[in-house]
Structure 1
Amino acid sequence: MVVLPTFDPEYDIVFVGGGTSAGVTAGRLAAAAPKLRILILEAGIWTKDMLKYIQPGRYITHLLQPTTAVTHHVARPSEHLGGRSAIVQSGWCVGGGSSVNFVLYNRPSASDFDDWASEYDNPGWSSKELVPLLQKVETYEVDPSAPTHGSSGPLKVSYGGFFSETGKQLLDIGPKYDKRRASGKDANAFDAGSVNIFTRWAKWCGSDGKRSDVPHYFVYNQLGKTGLSLVHGARVKRVLFDDKTATGVEFVFDNRVHPGAPQEIHTIRATKLVVVAAGAFGSPAILERSGIGAVEVVKAAGIAPLVDLPGVGANYHDHLFTVAPYVSDPEDDTFDAIYRGEEEEWAKELTRWATDGSGKMAANGVDASIKIRPFDDELEGLGPEFLVRWKEHYANKPDKPLFWMSALSGFPTDHSKLPPLKYICAAYHLAYPASCGSVHIVDNDVYTPQDFEAGFLNNSADIAALRWAYKKGRELIRRLPLFRGAFPPVAPEFAEDSPAAFKDTGAVEVSAPDIVYSAEDDKAIDEFHRKFVATTWHSLGTCAMKPRKDGGVVDSRLNVYGVNNLKVADISIPPSNVNSNTYSVALAIGEKAALIIAEDLGISGV
């Protein structure tokens, strides 16, 4: 007999999705109004007090199949990727990405939020309003007195429990090689001084070694104490309406989370509000199954249209990510043994973590990074195909970098077919790819994969930017004392007689000349990216907050156009991309949504 979670037939507010934003919003509202009846319906699994979701160093286990904690979205094959299908993972558990991500602490540029307010007509969403919300949510243990950081929030930020030799060497060698890009203390300070500095990188975990996820600090600690309830493994089919006023939802118990669960439809009424917060993939799907979306998409799925909103499922964005591995010194203490699942290494690190919260289980191998913005005299090296994009998006906003880059201690991938080496990687993702995609339902079945067009590399400006990023990363890595040469299986295929061919088997001098690349070498780098560029797990934008006439789905109060008592409040609402890992953005959206809903309902103290 299958034992399923219980629930009441009616609540004041129903949250469709229990990820980062929903957890923050629901948690804040429940704390401020303990008698408010709030239900979170999460499609994925339970995570409370489980080490696999508390220990940051286990992040790699959530990305490799088989796993129950994430969903793997397979995009259409793309000519821009040499016929490959991009695969994008998203959280499938209470807490969403906050429970399974890399715990990388990376906040946006102030101009990203300001763009939302000024360029997309969203009053109240500028950096002036949102930065204080990010301060509110965190305790920045690195330096609680830092001006734009928080000192008393529930989520802890620290350097973690392990400082890799890779990170130490990048901090030492980077500024010596690239003298215009100096050492710095804070690349997350919301100003132009945050770019072009080499810094030690913080993590979303406390000095106790525990992951700073949302459910353990906003949700689980309130169950049974306030009016907040949570049902996991509940896959919402659609929002219910009386005319065009949202009145509740229909869902089935997910047969992956609850094997053998009857697939009958359950109905829950929401007397005040339905909040869709199922992420960049889930939120547009639920809206479309509810009849809200492009008429042709909804009709093709066999659903009666309710509101024609062509922006639903459009505007899909991610950060294009590449990991370029090189061979490291065999004595380097990298994360590779963890990635390979070596029992002795795991036992050692689990003991360290259990003893004092230190070690690789309290870390991620990303210990030093830089947000790189080209100087004027470097723009020529990016090529003419990028200059138009530069003038449109970057030139007048000096806090916007072109890409984020780190030297990784280890190669975070499936090692089953790799030689048992030690690796050091140049990892880089574009902060604002011009490429864009879409995601839509194809029928009315909640289990049918969506029609997903990732859009990766469908704009030539991104090819040019990645090419330049690869070159910058290679020059940095080949100067690190740990460097022991190329790893040809995952590298551009340069001609043997090219000056760019891999010849170094040890670190070069810091003052060594940069490699000179020919047009053929550039083509090899471009092909490398078509073969290996991937997601940064930063999907957003598919229910964009902007004017309806411009393809918007929600207004600045998060209300879905054309209906009542229905909001979307998650990472699907950003109208444009952000220079950050999306966890921080989802937190800001969650905090802002709590304030908006509290104001709508006359709740104080949020």
Structure 2
Amino acid sequence: MSTPTLINEEYDIVIAGGGTAACVIAGRLAAADANLRVLLLEAGPTTHNDPAHTQPLSFLSHLAPGSRTTRAHVSQPSTALGGRTTIVPSGQCLGGGGSVNFMMYTRPSASDYDDWETVYQNPGWGSKYLIPLLKKIETYQAPGGGPTHGTDGPLGVSRGGFFSDLAGQFLQVARKLDPDRAQKPDDADTNDLETINVYTRWLKWINAETGTRSDVPHNVIYPLKDTRPNLHILTGAHVKHVTFDDENHATGVAYTLNPLFHPDGPKDTRTVRGTKLTLVSAGAFGSPGILERSGIGAKDVLERVGVKQRVDLPSVGENYQDHNILFLEFFAADEAQTMDAIFRNEEGALDVVAAEFGKSRKEISMHNSIDAGIKWRPKPSEVAELGPEFQEYWDSYFANAPDKPVLWIGVGSAFIEDPTLVPRRKYFTLAIFTEHPVARGHVHIGHADDVSAPEDFVPGYLESKVDVQPLTWGYKFAREIARRMPHFRGEPPVLHPAFSQSGPAAVVAHAEGPISFDAPRIVYSEEDERALEAFARAIVATTWHSLGTCAMKPREQGGVVDPRLNVYGVRGLKVADLSIPPSNVSANTYGTALAIGEKAAVIIAEEFGIKGVV
């Protein structure tokens, strides 16, 4: 690895960004060819052997105020959200989101990747091409498994080291309440890219043998530091823009040192050459920003901040997508197994976990509080319940893709949002997010030169009624599950809709126990429905799954890169990260970022004649 004074003036490949995909690309190429000089520039810090990154249960520390491993992106006020702004964090450290995320192991449906190939005209990007790359990166350590899973990759996939009683109750109640969904054993493989509608235990990117987070830096990058001196990594380096020659051929990047991590370092702008390739891999927020500061983008966007246009590519920064989530909190019984004390670090609770780390493979430190869930697709009768606007979307998008779920619904054994905002006690959370929202947003630079300046960011949350209806239906269904779980002890009134207190939907602030399993389902009045929609608009949030802002599709259809990841209108410049998906995936996005990194490494190796990257 490198310090600022040891960076060479030129490399064969310069990679702008050091997130999940970037680390996969750098690691695979450097390992395959010891003579290939690779430089990776990351804006955030190193993560090497830092317990905040290696110990799974420490993940929420990265979302704490003042975190230096994430960057907060603040949106414009949204009328769809009652005039409020939203904040979307992204990883800013070596490994990016994969070094700070919830470690949820969720694969999309095969048709999601197939859409990339067929609908958006990207040969080689369908599921049959990406499944071998998904297998390559993982070692599947959970029960069951099947032919789509890997057995000798660098990243372990397991159940973690703990299974809470709340998760067990969620599965028991949901399966009984919803018997028409597939009934499969807990060791059934629900991440084979085709199985949906199964209530099951949820897997994690946690290595069962070491008990650590399965991130790319510790499992791909850091092991190379003594054997591959051709790989240089500079952390704390803000990439400002790409440099070009007079023929619009990318020649490298200009960067400055991040004063957070180099407070005594030089303040000047430096350049480094990429003699064979310049690769932008800074994520859904960072990559369009680098392109726009380089003069690649829409003329009006660039003129607004004083950047001279080099290439007219108006879709840079457009097509922003995320999954829209509701966190529904409930009071839990005193005897429930929750992570609340640990997340609040009550009386050194996290210190006790850290002290026990590594002593047992069944410990609570190998946990993220989320143990069970379902990729939910409605039955015909439920489609009608979702509303007429959704019915039209269903007919045009979902009906002919039977592997596509509409929602993810799951349970967390804690108050998953900021636990310092609520009284100290035990909670559980049911989370609901939409897998394929309709609305799109954008991310554009707010300054020509300052990489830390706030962006012009519009997430698009709930701007379409189609995106509201699954969430409100999901709230009602999840509430029926929660109220029947044995550890249910009430609904915090300020964290639920303002339902009529004289009707059956009234919030139950305190409960001695669950309702009868055979109790009728709640009937919501028109007033209640309005309160529920207002509630959804008031609390809907990011699922930290930002993608799509440098979409891979034909230029005339709003594309930014082609199927070989080349940026339209210039030469020697590629983009490879979660900014390139042209459409969403029905899953947490870490696995897709890994697949993009593997695919990009294969493409670059083919072009350079490098063997051993397949």
TM-score, normalised with respect to structure 1: 0.98
1:362 is paired with a residue whose SS is: coil
Within 2, Cα distance between the matches of 1:250 and 1:344? 44
Instruction: Return structure 1 stretches of 4+ with deviation > 3 angstroms.
Output: none
2:357 is paired with a residue whose SS is: helix
Q: CA deviation at 1:357?
A: 4.6
Aligned counterpart, 2:32: 32
Aligned counterpart, 2:156: 156
1:215 aligns with 2:222: no
Q: Which amino acid aligns with 1:133?
A: L
1:237 aligns with 2:247: no
- Residue 145 of structure 1 contacts residue 151 of structure 1 at CA under 8 Å; is this kept in 2? no
Structure 2: which 5+ runs fail to align?
none
**Aligned ranges 1:430-579 → 2 under 5 Å:** 430-444=434-448, 445-503=450-508, 505=511, 506-579=513-586
2:439 is paired with a residue whose SS is: coil
Within 2, Cα distance between the matches of 1:210 and 1:369? 22
1:212 is paired with a residue whose SS is: coil
Q: Which amino acid aligns with 2:34?
A: P
The equivalent position to 1:267 in structure 2, one of 252, 268, 271, is 271
- Residue 277 of structure 1 contacts residue 569 of structure 1 at CA under 8 Å; is this kept in 2? yes
Within 2, Cα distance between the matches of 1:565 and 1:376? 50
Within 2, Cα distance between the matches of 1:341 and 1:487? 22
Aligned counterpart, 1:94: 94
Aligned counterpart, 2:138: 138
Q: Which amino acid aligns with 2:565?
A: L
| Cα distance change of structure 1 residues 484 and 145 upon mapping to structure 2, 3 Å threshold | closer
1:417 aligns with 2:437: no
Structure 1: which 5+ runs fail to align?
none
Q: CA deviation at 1:345?
A: 2.0
The equivalent position to 1:375 in structure 2, one of 360, 379, 383, is 379
TM-score, normalised with respect to structure 2: 0.96
Within 1, Cα distance between the matches of 2:6 and 2:143? 44
Within 2, Cα distance between the matches of 1:169 and 1:374? 22
Within 2, Cα distance between the matches of 1:412 and 1:478? 18
Within 1, Cα distance between the matches of 2:421 and 2:315? 42
Q: CA deviation at 1:260?
A: 3.7
Q: CA deviation at 1:145?
A: 5.0
1:206 aligns with 2:207: yes
The equivalent position to 2:364 in structure 1, one of 335, 339, 360, is 360
RMSD: 1.2
Q: CA deviation at 1:485?
A: 1.2
**Aligned ranges 1:258-297 → 2 under 5 Å:** 258-297=262-301
- Residue 45 of structure 2 contacts residue 94 of structure 2 at CA under 8 Å; is this kept in 1? yes
Within 2, Cα distance between the matches of 1:585 and 1:598? 20
Aligned residues: 602
- Residue 343 of structure 2 contacts residue 350 of structure 2 at CA under 8 Å; is this kept in 1? no
Within 2, Cα distance between the matches of 1:289 and 1:109? 35
- Residue 5 of structure 1 contacts residue 231 of structure 1 at CA under 8 Å; is this kept in 2? no
Aligned counterpart, 1:225: 227
Within 2, Cα distance between the matches of 1:357 and 1:247? 49
- Residue 183 of structure 1 contacts residue 199 of structure 1 at CA under 8 Å; is this kept in 2? no
The equivalent position to 1:345 in structure 2, one of 314, 331, 349, is 349
Q: CA deviation at 1:557?
A: 0.4
- Residue 338 of structure 2 contacts residue 413 of structure 2 at CA under 8 Å; is this kept in 1? yes
1:354 is paired with a residue whose SS is: coil
- Residue 331 of structure 2 contacts residue 489 of structure 2 at CA under 8 Å; is this kept in 1? yes
Q: Mean alpha-carbon deviation: is it higher for 455-464 or for 503-512?
A: 503-512
Q: Which amino acid aligns with 2:241?
A: R
Within 2, Cα distance between the matches of 1:261 and 1:533? 41
CA offset digits 1:5-63 (Å, max 9, x no partner): 53000100001001000111111111111110000000111100111110111111101
1:552 is paired with a residue whose SS is: coil
CA offset digits 1:463-495 (Å, max 9, x no partner): 111111111111111111111111111101101
2:372 is paired with a residue whose SS is: strand
Within 1, Cα distance between the matches of 2:181 and 2:370? 19
Q: Which amino acid aligns with 1:480?
A: M
Within 1, Cα distance between the matches of 2:118 and 2:483? 43
1:88 is paired with a residue whose SS is: strand
Among all aligned residue pairs of Structure 1 and Structure 2, give the percentage whose two residues are the same amino acid. Answer: 50
Within 2, Cα distance between the matches of 1:387 and 1:424? 32
- Residue 80 of structure 2 contacts residue 537 of structure 2 at CA under 8 Å; is this kept in 1? yes
Q: CA deviation at 1:598?
A: 0.5
